[in-house]
Amino acid sequence: MLRRRKWMFAVLAVLPTLAIFAWVRLYPIAEMFNLSLRDWDLLSPRRPFIGLENFIDLFDDRLFIAALINTTIIALGVAIITIPSAIVIAALIHSRAGSKLAPFYETAIFVPHVVSLVPAALAWKWIFDSELGPLNAFLGVFGIDPVAWLHNPTLAVLCVIVLCSWQALGYAVIIYLVGFKNLPVSLYEAARLDGASARQSFWFITVPLLKPITLYVSVVILISGFNVYAQPFVLASDTQGSPSHLVRVLVYDMIENSFSNFRIGYASAEAVILLSIVMIITVIQFSILRDRSGR
Amino acid sequence: MNTETTAKRGPAGRARGLLLGSALTASALAAVSATAQEITVLTGYPELEPFYEHVAEGMSAEYPDLVVNIEPISLREHERRVALGLTGGLDDGTVIEFASAGAQRFLEAGLLPAAPEDVAAYVQENFGEFFVDGVSYDGQIYGIPLFRGQSALYYNTEMFEAAGLDGPPTTMEEFTEYADVLTQRDDAGNPTVSGWSLRLSGGGQGIAEKFWINLHQFGGTVLEQTEDGMWRAAYASPEGVAALSQYLDNLYVYNTVTSEMPADAEAFEREQTAMFIRESWVIGDIAQNAPDLPYATSVLPTGSIALSQNLYVMGDGEAADAAWAFAQATTTEDNMIWLLENVGWLPNRSGLDYASVIETTPALDAFVTYPDDYAFFTLPAIGPIAEILTRLADQLTTAYADESLAGDDAAIMALLEEAAEETNEILDREGLLAE
Amino acid sequence: MTATAEELAEGTRLRARKRRQRLMVDAGLLVFCVLMLMPLVFLIGNAFKTPQELLAWPPTIIPQDPTLENFRIALAETSLLRWLGNSIAFALSSTAAIVATSAITGYVMAKFPFRSINVLFFLFLATAVVPFEVYMIPLYFQVRALGLLDSIGGLLIGYLVMSFGIFLIRQNTIHSIPDELIEAARVDGAGELWIFWHIALPLLRGAMGALAVLAFFQAWTAFAWPIVVTSREQHYTVEVGLALFQTGYTVDTGLVSAASTIVLIPSVLVFVLLRRNFVQGVASTGMKE
């Protein structure tokens, strides 16, 4: 009787959320798979089923491949820059945990993560400006010729990586700081008694113990890296006065195919591929975690 | 869906309601809220905002209660918002700017209503065949041709004089020769002031359109239509090779320009380039940003692009009637001359007298006075035109960055053939490819 | 046992070395923090510059001849304030929806161990890895079908629920609300809803605060969804409005910087005020099981 009442309450309480969830998440995800197998131009009432044709076309599409490569480079680049620097910075902040400056460190490093994306990207756009930007002015002090950061296809991708890393770093540092707080102090004391230097305990105790956190952070950063859109949109889309090199990323390509080229089915197929990439990353993370706990 | 535009200053898309007629007293406002008719003008040319305001003011006698909301935004965003808005439903009485090519998909899908009979008759009567065709679909008239983007050469007269040139180039060979002479270089030989500013980078289809304009001078075209009304890529041709070679020669053989250099109207106004090809709006832009710039304009060697921008109206009922009246009012002779004089875009209406405007702004002459055999082309009214040009633009950007292509006609041809194949694939997919 | 003079000296030396080390760490961190903040400092500096100074070479950091003109134009001649209003309305309603749905669902998932509920929980959690951008386009058509394009409601539909929020509340319920407490209330004859409202919610206040801040910033910095859902400028959020400020125009760095500075104020303010909640919220994303 009581169990039944509890069950009723649970179901009624969860029902609204479940309904919203089904409607704003499960249904569109299913619909995305459905559309990816169809040819639809947004305007026509007909949406003929064309099997895997969209996917076959995608792998023959220069722009999609370019977007896929750019996005992968950006996602990996951000992870490679952010994670090591976040560990070091979190370690340094942790070592000064009691100091009055610690809240300032945390705030300063974290602010880039919370400020609106677009203003931040606009600031960086000015920094990278080849004509007027402070970066070239700074390099000029050392006699380095001005570099056209946003015009060169390779450098433009690098600029996007720098901007994304700047924004992601704060997040990674905060999570690592939690990790540092949870490290067993006794282990370090034992290591010190054994004559290990600070650097040695960092490499041989801290880094391995933080592995689950590193894994988690890297997955979060990789996934958000694959979804990057606003940063290249602001930094490296075309503007009249100062055209820069367009850094095509997956989400950009999806939106262009949907709303400029009127190819909804095709864009949905891109979305399915994006989802597969994210799934693969997640599965890899879980299997590594399971390996560890299995041992 | 065409030549993009630069606005003067950036308050992006500020929407403003213009209350016409009586003074803005509180009572008038109260009365208006009860009876006012509201129409909205969606424009992709922010510099047209004052023009539409001017038109609205002129209508106040006849429509004292009409409120005209003008919503300007940059062109690319305008296209997207119109595409999304048209499929999602816009209010009755929305006036929409569209290039002929851009409206095609929506006409095919039956999303744009035909013009009322009297408006259609008015269009037939006052516009040339080219423009009437541009607003027609399946024998019916759907919109009002307003203005067109047409290109001419802008050149800095002082720089020309300093280089010992006494007039603008008249053949494409001369363009390169002049560019070489005009380029100012530093001690290392790198250009500091480009001789001829070419569109070399950036996103979107602009690069392909600019290429097309040059290609047109060589007698070529990007797309050609066959007798059965189908299309195919036509730029993998000797003309195409000549046009692309010219870009590469300027970049890598003569070193007259680099892709990082300041470009376009802004560079011209700051005297960072000696000449460039652009539409007539630049005249107004120069008047505002660099009034003392010594410059002149000239027609291009053989012809120009002509992209008509038209007004279409959504919905029916009273609001739509008012909107059609507004759209029609934009093309009165007075308003057309006002447009040319104050904004710089070229009016489409036939039989206008430009004498007074040209007297005050001689630079406009090259846009309205041209040789009899001056050949115009426009973007084909086919659905995938934007996709075709965007992809061609991407191919071209890659080509412009490839120094090894310079002077290698075989490699250039191979590249163009590859790009043309991609263009034809898109046409094929859409069922538009000629055999 | 007493320390020898040598040992004492050794101790002093060690302490001195430690202090030097600490100083070096502080110096390094300070320099790094300044570098991190530098782009924002540049942005604020540019907001006060005249058009001439913006073209100056080498660029200045602190304006030589500060002007408020850029701010005047940003406030008077653009829809910036309207966009700010839209963003705030959107972010607040999204926060309310996420906190409400997460609180009740997370609580039930933690305290009502039915098999069916557990299955649901994993369903929620599994879709958390699907990036929003992936199913954004189908969702767009749903919003269109409802006639909610170009409205706060339309924006909100993309941000009504958060899988992580449900997870966060569930973990917190497990850790901070003992089963005995709920059982005792039941024995006293309290209804389930009463228990949730009067016992669970007060105990979950901290977690809900952290979640609220996370949800707020998630909506505040949303970009891809608003740019798709809104197409009329009076409905833009600040992020979209600012991004479109610069496309298709000769970029007016001064104006854009002034507008950005105005936008930064609320977000930095909210962050500084709620820093602890925020850090706790973000940190808890890392504490999986």
- CATH number at B215 reads 3.40.190.10
Domain containing C244 equals: 72-286
Tell me which chain C residues have a C-beta less than 8 angstroms from the C-beta of B14. 77-79, 233
Judged against a pLDDT cut of 90, whether residue C19 lies above it is answered with: no
pLDDT in tens, A239-266: 444 456 778 899 989 988 988 888 989 9
Percent with pLDDT over 70 in chain C: 94
Question: What pLDDT does residue A116 have?
Answer: 80
Question: What pLDDT does residue C206 have?
Answer: 84
C88 and C23, same domain (yes or no) = no
- B12 at the A interface (CB within 8 A)? no
Question: What pLDDT does residue B61 have?
Answer: 86
pLDDT in tens, C228-254: 888 777 889 998 888 877 654 456 788
- C62 at the A interface (CB within 8 A)? no
In this prediction, residues C72-97 reach a mean pLDDT of 92
Interface test with C, best of B38, B42, B48, B73 (most C CBs within 10 A): B73
pLDDT in tens, B330-372: 999 999 999 998 888 999 998 888 888 888 889 999 998 889 8
Please provide the DSSP assignment of B338-378 as one string. HHHHHT-PEE-BTT---HHHHHH-GGGHHHH---TTPEEE-
Judged against a pLDDT cut of 80, whether residue C167 lies above it is answered with: yes
C56 and C84, same domain (yes or no) = no
Chain C neighbours, 3+ Cβ pairs < 8 A? A, B
- CATH number at C98 reads 1.10.3720.10
> Which residue ranges in chain B fall short of pLDDT 50?
1-34
Strand, coil or helix: what is B133? Answer: helix
Strand, coil or helix: what is A248? Answer: coil
Chain A neighbours, 3+ Cβ pairs < 8 A? B, C
Residue B8 lies in a domain: no
**CB interface of C with A, residues 65-94, below 8 Å:** none
pLDDT in tens, C26-69: 999 999 999 999 999 999 999 999 888 887 778 888 888 888 99
B315 and B211, same domain (yes or no) = no
Most confidently predicted of A187-191, C87-91, C227-231? C87-91
Residue C263 burial (CB < 10 Å; 0-12/13-18/19+)?
buried
- The amino acid sitting at B403 is E
Dist CA B73 CA C79 (whole Å)? 12
Bridge partners, residue B185, by sequence? B191
Long-range residue pairs from C148-152, CB within 8 A, at least 24 positions apart, any chain: C149/B84, C149/B88, C149/C229, C149/C230, C149/C231, C150/C229, C150/C230, C150/C231, C150/C232, C150/C235, C151/C235, C152/C86, C152/C89, C152/C90, C152/C93, C152/C235
C126 and C39, same domain (yes or no) = no
B276 and B414, same domain (yes or no) = yes
Question: What pLDDT does residue C270 have?
Answer: 79
B300 and B403, same domain (yes or no) = yes
C13 and C59, same domain (yes or no) = yes
C133 and C55, same domain (yes or no) = no
Judged against a pLDDT cut of 60, whether residue C197 lies above it is answered with: yes
Dist CA A4 CA A102 (whole Å)? 52
Dist CA B178 CA B172 (whole Å)? 10
H-helix segments, chain C? 5-47, 51-54, 69-76, 80-111, 115-127, 132-145, 152-157, 163-176, 179-187, 192-195, 201-203, 205-220, 224-229, 238-245, 253-273, 275-286
C51 and C108, same domain (yes or no) = no
Question: What pLDDT does residue B251 have?
Answer: 94
Give the distance from residue A21's alpha carbon to the nearest chain C alpha carbon, in angstroms.
7
pLDDT in tens, A214-242: 888 888 899 889 989 888 888 866 544 44
Bridge partners, residue B433, by sequence? B231
Closest chain B CA to residue A239: B202
Question: What pLDDT does residue B169 have?
Answer: 95
Tell me which chain C residues have a C-beta less than 8 angstroms from the C-beta of A251. 133, 224
Tell me which chain A residues have a C-beta less than 8 angstroms from the C-beta of C139. 24, 28
Question: What pLDDT does residue C1 have?
Answer: 54
- C259 at the B interface (CB within 8 A)? no
Cβ distance of C285 and A9 shorter than 8 Å: no
Lowest mean pLDDT segment, chosen from A85-99, A195-209, B163-177: A195-209
Given a contact cutoff of 8 angstroms between Cβ atoms, the answer to whether A244 and A151 are in contact is yes
Residue B230 lies in a domain: yes
Cβ distance of C161 and A103 shorter than 8 Å: no
Q: Tokens at residue B238, please?
A: 């000797």
Please provide the DSSP assignment of B209-267 as one string. HHHHHHHHHTT--SEEE-TTS-EEE--SSHHHHHHHHHHHIIIIIS----TTS--HHHH
Q: Tokens at residue A277, please?
A: 């990439």
**Residue from the list B75, B84, B85 with its beta carbon closest to the beta carbon of C248:** B75
The three-state (H, E, C) secondary structure of B106-131, written as one string: HHHCCCCCCCCHHHHHHHHHHECHHH
* pLDDT band at residue C2 using 50, 70 and 90 as cut-offs: low
C110 and C56, same domain (yes or no) = no
Question: What pLDDT does residue B235 have?
Answer: 96
Judged against a pLDDT cut of 70, whether residue C97 lies above it is answered with: yes
Q: Tokens at residue A108, please?
A: 């300063």
Q: How many domains does chain B have?
A: 2
Judged against a pLDDT cut of 90, whether residue A183 lies above it is answered with: no
Percent with pLDDT over 90 in chain A: 35
Q: How many domains does chain C have?
A: 2
Residue carrying the six token digits 């979950």? C204
In this prediction, residues A61-89 reach a mean pLDDT of 94
Q: Give the Å distances, CA to CA, from C34 to A169, C27, C208.
A: 14, 11, 32
In 10 A of CB B373, how many CB atoms?
7
Q: pTM to 2 decimals?
A: 0.86
Given a contact cutoff of 8 angstroms between Cβ atoms, the answer to whether B209 and B2 are in contact is yes
Residue B41 lies in a domain: yes
Given a contact cutoff of 8 angstroms between Cβ atoms, the answer to whether B374 and B151 are in contact is no
Question: What pLDDT does residue B4 have?
Answer: 37
In this prediction, residues A196-224 reach a mean pLDDT of 86
Cβ distance of B10 and C147 shorter than 8 Å: no
Question: What pLDDT does residue A241 have?
Answer: 40
Treating both helix axes as pointing N-terminal to C-terminal, what angle do A153-181 and C275-286 enclose, rounded to 10 degrees?
90
**CB interface of B with C, residues 220-249, below 8 Å:** none
Helix (H) or strand (E) holding B303: strand B303-313
Domain containing B342 equals: 16-149+306-368
Given a contact cutoff of 8 angstroms between Cβ atoms, the answer to whether C173 and C107 are in contact is yes
* pLDDT band at residue A118 using 50, 70 and 90 as cut-offs: confident
**CB interface of C with A, residues 237-276, below 8 Å:** 238-239, 242-243, 246-251, 253, 256-257, 260-261, 263-264, 267-268, 271-272, 275
How many residue contacts between A and B have a Cβ separation below 8 Å? Answer: 74
Give the distance from residue A16's alpha carbon to the nearest chain B alpha carbon, in angstroms.
28
Spatial neighbors of B287 by CB under 8 A, at least 6 apart, are B361
Tell me which chain B residues have a C-beta less than 8 angstroms from the C-beta of C250. 6-10, 266
Tell me which chain B residues have a C-beta less than 8 angstroms from the C-beta of C231. 77, 80-81, 84-85
In 10 A of CB B227, how many CB atoms?
6
Given a contact cutoff of 8 angstroms between Cβ atoms, the answer to whether B39 and B68 are in contact is yes
Q: Tokens at residue B291, please?
A: 């009034």
